[in-house]
Structure 1
Amino acid sequence: METTLAASSKGTLRQFVFYFLRLGTFGFGGPIALAARMQKDLVEELGWISQEDYTEGLAFSQLSPGPLAAQLAMYLGWVRFANLGATLTGTFFILPSFLMVLGIAALYLHYGSLSSIQSIFYGVGSAVVAILVRSAYKLTRTTLKTDSLLWVLFTVSAVATAWTKSEIIWLFVLCAIVSMIVKTRLRSAITAVLPAGLVWLTTGIHGPAGLNTGLGLFTFFLKAGAFVFGSGLAIVPFLYGGLVVQSHWLTERQFLDAVAVAMITPGPVVITAGFIGYLVAGPVGAVLAALAVFAPPYFIVLIAAPLYRRFTKNLYVNAFVKGVTAAAIGAITGAVFILASRTLVDRNSILIAGASLGILSLTKKIPEPVLILLAGLVGFVLLRATH
């Protein structure tokens, strides 16, 4: 495996880092699109990464917690340039979208109360709901497929999230245990993961009391980042439950706006943590939240990547991850139901959401950021026309 820092036909460290800086600045389309772009550029055109290393990196990113695109970038950096490569590629891939989100958050705080801005975000919220509905549908089809057990775990998680209006960490652990028991027929799997599950059960994603400090904010997003499996959207129900329902740090409108901002900026969707951190605690909060949410995937790459090939086909590991993933997708679906019931409150918002969902279903030619901006413009016009 190539780990030298010396220049080679496979690109230097500087070239590698600059590539991910450019991808983080101009890469739109979500995690799947970004992952596909890495394969096209790094494997097929530049030849800096072998197809085998890319395929293993993609599987590793799907199996372990962490936003898919960001973790894949870190893994590929590690493959070529060891820990330094993982650190630099991850940093420069995330940095552009973080700086953009920081600027948008500052403008949002300053001008967000203006009626014209509120009118724009009125339509944006409806489009975000439509995008989340479409994403949840695609995730269920591509991940659950025809596995009846995963569909059961998904349904339980979706109903529980919609009913309680918050994430249930112990349910994730339970789904993982059930998946391990059924798929491996190993009842001792309970003793293998129960201690870790009890830690989450007693602390919860929101951590110990007192989320009004920088440490509390960091702890909250650190735990949230540990439950982002495959798609960055998996973080949505966790953030909603903690920030809106429990701590009341954000209103439901502010939360939807935060998700929208992440979708109209390049890079990983999870960068919404920076926007939320800024709203809660200013620039320091933005830095703490962003660092915390990307810390789990970063350290997983550094620690687990060297061991990955040994356990890549382990039945217990795969069954555990499948159970957690099914629960995560169920939580996304439940959160979509909650957000839709709170956002689509009148005819105009329902029309915008329906039209957005129809466009997403019928064509792939309109990027999600463009759709969100168009929905914002339509919402602005409709509200102005009716008031």
Structure 2
Amino acid sequence: MHRILVDEKKWVSESRFLHALNYCMVLPGPEAQQLTVYIGWLLHGVKGGLAAGCLFVLPGFLSILLLSVLYAGFQDLTLVQALFFGVKAAVLAIVIHAVIRIGRRALKNAPMYLLAAAAFVSIFFFSVPFPQVIISAGLIGLLGSRLAPESFVVIKHGGPEGDGRAIDTMMSGNAAHHTRASLERAFKVMAVWLPLWFAPLIVLSVTLGFDNVFTQIGLFFSKLAVVTFGGAYSVLAYMAQEAVQNHGWLAPGEMLDGLGMAETTPGPLIQVVQFVGFMGAFRDPGTLSPMAAGVAASVLATWVTFVPCFLWIFLGAPYIETLRGNQAVSAALSAITAAVVGVMLNLAIWFAIHVAFAEVGDIQAYGMRLLVPVWDSVQIASVVLSAAAFVALLRFKAGMLPVIAVSAALGLAYYVAFGSGAAM
């Protein structure tokens, strides 16, 4: 996105792009989607934001919807199991690689390492809710901006304004009237987007009841839309915990399958919410057919995940220019990103245990919950595939899609050579 918008199209300057990215990283929700809406809005107002945001999501939505239908309908086929056996191994390597990549950027000093460690311990051992971890990190960052700004302002954006870039020319010429903030405009935005977000939830609650699977999916992903700070990887552990352990919509391995779908299709990674919603309703369809229920839930999960993105941008973007270079915001973002590294490490270990072992139990003692794998159920082939994928990503800088494709092919070959029983 940066290469095309800043270098090739020359629509925005480097500093304005990074400032928009900074704002989107502070917001809850998928930052790539929000940045897309932000840039579209800067260039062409609400119409530009709508066009950019909808077209950014649509290809991934259609792709994952098709894959979800095939997955639910043909999951028991050996071919499907074999392909996803390899995909899971690649996804594990991608998550570990993401932890390292973001950790290198965010963990620049001892306070950041301590925040990451505290976040990991809180979630992995004590199951502290993800929102509480992120909010606490942000508050610590705000406090640190006053007490020790040199240690907490780690993520810094800056740079000169762009030479003749489209939006910067509009700004300097007072042509970008749609970017001017006003209370009247803010109330209009809320009057449109809050009902669009909450109306389906109210209708579902009244007509189907609070405990219905559709109501639960709508409420869960609405909550997810306001706590997903730090990007999709950071919230996957929270989503997996809720969807797998609390709601029972998915099995642990299926969460990895869904992530593999999202990694290999166009659009934001957070589109995995669509697969989770599909499988949850597919298994509890009520009066609908399983496929019809899955499709409806897929649309619902996508709607309540991405509608808030438009609200945050159209409401807050006009005010965000006043925060350019704000030290407190940068410190809070730095602290949140450090905590996200700890959250992602928790996700990586959770995935690793479920990829490497076919059976995983847990023990609870002294307020802690520990995952305990059944060592006899170790899946050597999965471990080897994951290690090879990780080496390809980290050492040989291989692309994500080629790594997933090769891993899927190797998983298929393993099934053909040794049979499905050997991989379980």
Q: TM-score range by the shorter chain?
A: 0.7 to 0.9
1:45–1:308: structure 2 CA closer, same or farther, 3 Å change rule? same
Render the CA deviation track for 1:343-381: whole Å, top value 9, x for unaligned. Answer: 1122111100000000001223x3212211211111122
Of 62, 67, 74 in structure 1, the residue corresponding to residue 37 of structure 2 is 74
Deviations 1:238-265 (A, max 9, x none): 2111101211110011100000000000
Q: Residues 76 and 179 of structure 1: is their aligned pair in 2 closer, same or farther, counting only changes over 3 Å?
A: same
The one-letter amino acid of 1:385's match is A
**Pairwise CA distance, 1:299:** 1.4
Matches within 5 A, 1:347-386: 347-364=380-397, 366-386=398-418
Opposite residue 8 of structure 2, the aligned amino acid is E
The 3 A distance-change label for structure 1 pair 211 and 385 is: farther
Separation in 2 of the partners of 1:385 and 1:255? 26
Question: Partner letter of residue 256 of structure 1?
Answer: L
Q: Distance in 1 between matches of 2:76 and 2:126?
A: 30
Q: Does 1:291 align with 2:303?
A: yes
* Cα distance, 1:236 vs structure 2: 0.8
Matched, 1:172 2:205: no
Contact 1:165-1:245 at 8 Å conserved across structures: no
Corresponding residue SS for 2:125: helix
Q: Deviations over 1:158-197 (max 9, x none)?
A: 12222246744322222222222233239xxxxxxxxxxx
Bigger drift between 250-259 and 368-377 goes to 368-377
Structure 1 residue aligned with 2:6: 43
| Partner of residue 153 from structure 1, selected from 88, 91, 115 | 115
Partner of 1:249: helix, strand, or coil? coil
Structure 1 CA distance, aligned partners of 2:29 and 2:133? 19
- 1:50: Cα distance to partner? 4.1
Q: What are the within-5 Å matches in structure 2 for residues 99-178 of structure 1?
A: 99-144=62-107, 146-164=108-126, 167-178=129-140
- Corresponding residue for 2:356? 344
DSSP-derived class of the 1:325 partner: helix
Cα distance in structure 1, aligned partners of 2:405 and 2:129: 30
Which segment is superposed worse, 147-156 or 349-358? 147-156
Quick check: 2:134–2:229 contact (8 Å CA) kept in 1? no
TM-score (normalised: structure 2):
0.72
1:277 deviates by 1.5
TM-score norm. by structure 1 comes to: 0.79
Structure 2 CA distance for aligned equivalents of residues 229 and 170 of structure 1: 11
How far apart are the structure 2 equivalents of 1:377 and 1:233?
25
Write the distance in 2 (CA, Å) between the matches of 1:303 and 1:114.
Answer: 47
Counterpart position of 2:367: none
- Mapped partners of 1:333, 1:104: distance in 2: 28
Amino acid at match of 2:64: V
How far is 1:230 from its partner? 4.3
Distance, in Å, in 1 between the alignment partners of 2:276 and 2:346 is 21
Partner letter of residue 112 of structure 2? Answer: L
Contact 1:70 1:93 survives alignment (8 Å): yes
Contact preservation (8 Å) 1:74, 1:89: yes
Contact 2:230 2:340 in 1 (8 A): no
> Contact 1:180–1:316 (CA<8 Å) still a contact in 2?
yes
Q: What is the aligned partner in structure 1 of residue 48 from structure 2?
A: 85
Q: Which residue pairs with 2:245 in the alignment?
A: 245
Q: Does 1:220 align with 2:220?
A: yes
Distance 1:212 1:140, change over 3 A: farther
| Range 347-356 or range 54-63, more displaced | 54-63
8 Å CA contact 1:127–1:352 kept in 2: the answer is yes
How far does residue 300 in structure 1 lie from its aligned partner after superposition?
Answer: 1.3
CA separation of 1:296/1:53 partners in 2, compared to 1, >3 Å: closer, same or farther? same
* Deviation per residue, 1:137-169 (Å, 9 max, x gap): 10111122x232221111111122222467443
Partners in 2 of 1:45 and 1:248 — Cα distance?
46
Aligned partners of 1:163, 1:248: CA distance in 2, in Å?
21
Q: CA distance change for structure 1 residues 176 and 148 in 2, over 3 Å: closer, same or farther?
A: same
Distance of aligned partners of 1:55 and 1:181 in 2 relative to their CA distance in 1, 3 Å threshold: closer
Q: Find the residue that maps to 1:343 and give its secondary structure.
A: helix
2:108 is the alignment partner of 1:96: no
The CA deviation string for residues 173-230 of structure 1, in whole angstroms up to 9 with x for no partner, is: 22222222233239xxxxxxxxxxxxxxxxxxxxx99564323212211222333334
> CA deviation digits over 1:313-350, x for unaligned, max 9?
33333333333222222111111101101111221111
Q: What's the % identity of the aligned pairs?
A: 24
Q: Structure 1: where are the runs of 5+ without partners? A: 1-34, 187-207
Deviation string 1:261-284 (CA, Å, 9 cap, x unpaired) is 000001111111112221122111
State the 1:74 CA deviation: 0.5
CA distance in 2 between counterparts of 1:46 and 1:261 reads 30
